[in-house]
Amino acid sequence: MTTSRLFKGVVAGVLAVIAMVCASLLAVPMLRHYLVAVANDPMRLPVLETDARVHYEPGAKTCALVVAGLLPTAIERIEKAQRRAFAREPAIGVYASYEAYAKANGLEDPTIAATSRSGRVILSPRLCGHEFSRLDGVLTHELSHAHLFGWRFSLLKRRPPSWFTEGLAVMASAGAGAETVSERNAAEAIANGYAILVGDEGLWVDFDSIPFENDPPRDLPLSRQRFAYRQAAMFVEWLNHRDPQGFGSLLLRIENGENFKDSVRASYGRDTIQLWQSFVSDLKLGNRGAY
């Protein structure tokens, strides 16, 4: 075999291995979603002339103008609730088509209302249409995520648990994400044994799911996710009101990349589960004003 033929054979073999590796990686849903989202970054959309933070798909300019009008107050609300300015200006993507939205949202799912990814808030066409009344709240909710992970973003760091990130976002947005589930509904669910699990670990592969100690009945008339979000928000708000200084310390430690479990212990002098038990005790005693 000539040197030239040997070289070509080696190159072909290397390319075949690369192709196999790429095919294997693309078979992993989270990675595939991420790569599709990167290729469809909302930053590539036209920018709104009156606010460079807002990008829009052709056909969504009217909604983009509304978003631009809501943005300053939403940002102010998040910075007040989370005790710190944004690490960098958030970018907002406003979509007119569900197909383009699904490609950009990092989940390839056209049915969800909004997502936040890498400092981008990505809004579904439904918020410009039949769910327009939710636009302000959902925008603020997703900005909470953009704020938190804008400070702490690193693939090498564990995520805070979903109950905390979602509870914080619901609290900061005055209930967005937990609509239709009242505090009374959530408290009754806890009393009936359908409480969320408040662990200390978060996973990059699981962005949204909050587990329950016992799964609520399948015929529950209200959304399981919204029950979880409402319970989480009530607990986060309880933590905030119980010790505002400790809550501020917790946020700062988390955003600086510290381990969630250690951050809770350093900020409150107690473990997460001990704090949850105190919260549940307050619920049983009817101390609703505590949060």
**What are the pLDDT digits (tens) for 87-131?**
999 999 999 999 999 999 888 889 999 999 888 999 999 999 999
Low-confidence winner among 54-63, 202-211, 220-229, 250-259 (lowest mean pLDDT):
202-211
Residue the block writes with tokens 């988390």: 254
Structure tokens at 16: 């075949």
> Are the CB atoms for 195 and 239 separated by under 8 Å?
no
Grade residue 24 by pLDDT with cuts at 50, 70 and 90.
very low
pTM: 0.85
Q: Which is nearest to 254 in space by CA: 83, 77, 140?
A: 83
Dig out the tokens for 166 from the structure. 């979602």
Structural domains in the chain?
42-152 (3.30.2010), 162-290 (no CATH)
Question: In the sheet where 51-56 sits, what is the strand order?
Answer: 47-48, 51-56, 91-94, 120-123, 114-117
pLDDT score at 9? 52
Burial 61-94 (b: 16+ CB within 10 A, else e): bebbbbbbeebeebbebbeebbebebbeebbbbb
> In angstroms, rounded to a whole number, what is the distance separating the alpha carbons of residues 115 and 97?
15
Predicted confidence (pLDDT) at residue 17 exceeds the cutoff of 80: no
